[in-house]
Amino acid sequence: MANYTAADIKALRERTGAGMMDVKKALDETDGDAEKAMEAIRIKGLKGATKREGRSTAEGLVAAKVDGGVGVMVEINSETDFVAKAAPFVEFGDKVLAAAIDSGISDVDALLAHEVDGKPLSEHVIETGALLGEKVAVRRIARVEGKTVDAYLHKTAKDLPAQVGVLFAVDGEGAEASEAAHDVAVHAAAYNPTYITRDEVPEELVENERRIADETARAEGKPEQALPKIVEGRLTGFFKEGVLLDQAFAKDPKMSVAQVLSEAGVSATGLARFRVGS
């Protein structure tokens, strides 16, 4: 009988994210040697890489860092939340983030082709998937620059890595600018704005919302003379839903985000928000 304990199984599962039976089999084959068992799991995983290609990756993590006025954020996906919290997966997320920062690349395909430790990052993706026994993917990358950039990461469950990430930049510096940038980044994590200003909303989308508001009001039997005011009111509601500066500030709904930034003497210059799987 191989020389290992239940604690050894648990430790190796946490290191690899592999299933219990796979871990036990690897430990049996290597007479309880954890390092050799990890290698056996990895080799088995590489053989099954082709079978994993079409699988869905809806779990994972978001990693972000700000360095010298540049914020970089990446989303890395896995198939299950069990793997998402495994140490090798979290470490791989750090490796991808470091590669994105060092290379200055903002495109996923270019990042996957970028050489890390002597080989393309894409090969590290395959090897990590082999070790974990799941499909692993680098889904997206964002880069935000400004005089002050805040990176906020939010955990939706305490035992998982960050599932939501925000980069938010403003055109000012100092303690007040930093505090405002952080507060708005936290707000954006919760309120999910799509645009910073109304000017960024595509005109065709605005016109479509205007048409829907008009047709809805008419169907409700609203008087003709009241329609323009009703339509504009509903359009304002549309902007408050998806435009950051129009949103009611999370910490004080009596203020808009625009007012919060104005009081701090700064303007928004960049925003990126990721939520794993969405």
Q: Are strands 70-78 and 59-67 parallel, antiparallel or unpaired?
A: antiparallel
Q: What local confidence, expressed as pLDDT, does residue 48 receive? A: 46
Confidence of residue 11 (pLDDT cuts 50, 70, 90): confident
Q: Which of 12-16, 117-121, 172-176, 247-251 has the lowest mean pLDDT?
A: 12-16
Is the per-residue pLDDT at 223 higher than 80?
yes
Pick from 145, 150, 148: nearest CA to 166: 150
Q: Which of 57-71, 139-153, 245-259 has the lowest mean pLDDT?
A: 57-71
Mean pLDDT of 244-267: 96
Q: Are strands 148-154 and 164-170 parallel, antiparallel or unpaired?
A: antiparallel
CA dist 103 and 112 (Å) reads 11
33 in Cβ contact with 148 (< 8 Å):
no
> Domain extents for the chain?
6-47, 59-195+259-275
Percent of the chain whose predicted confidence (pLDDT) is above 90: 64
Mean pLDDT of 204-233: 91
State the amino acid at position 204 in one-letter form.
E
Mean pLDDT of 251-277: 96
Q: What local confidence, expressed as pLDDT, does residue 239 receive? A: 94
Task: Please state, in angstroms and as integers, the Cα–Cα distance from residue 229 to each residue in 100, 150, 206, 214, following that order.
Answer: 48, 38, 16, 10
Q: What local confidence, expressed as pLDDT, does residue 55 receive? A: 57
Burial class (CB in 10 A: 0-12, 13-18, 19+), 181: buried
Output the average pLDDT for the chain.
89
The distance of Cα 154 from the centroid of its chain, to the nearest Å, equals 9
Superfamily for domain range 6-47:
Ubiquitin-associated (UBA) domain (1.10.8.10)
Question: Which residues have a Cβ under 8 Å from the Cβ of 13 and sit 6 or more positions away?
Answer: 19, 20, 23
268 in Cβ contact with 170 (< 8 Å):
yes
Mean pLDDT of 104-114: 94
Q: What local confidence, expressed as pLDDT, does residue 50 receive? A: 47
155 in Cβ contact with 241 (< 8 Å):
no
Q: What local confidence, expressed as pLDDT, does residue 57 receive? A: 61
Q: What local confidence, expressed as pLDDT, does residue 258 receive? A: 97
CA dist 215 and 149 (Å) reads 42
| 142 or 18, which is more confident | 142
- With tokens 């239940």, the residue in question is 6
- With tokens 């980069």, the residue in question is 167
Is the per-residue pLDDT at 1 higher than 60?
no
Mean pLDDT of 45-56: 50
Is the per-residue pLDDT at 165 higher than 70?
yes
Is the per-residue pLDDT at 51 higher than 90?
no
Using DSSP's 3-state secondary structure scheme, residue 179 falls into helix
pLDDT in tens, 168-214: 999 999 999 999 999 999 999 999 999 999 999 999 999 999 999 99
Confidence of residue 147 (pLDDT cuts 50, 70, 90): very high
Pick from 223, 262, 230: nearest CA to 245: 262
Q: Which residues of 184-216 are buried (b: 16+ CB within 10 A; e: fewer)?
A: bbbbbbebbbebbeeeebeeeeeeebeeebbee
Q: Does domain 59-195+259-275 have CATH number 3.30.479.20?
A: yes
DSSP state of 251: T
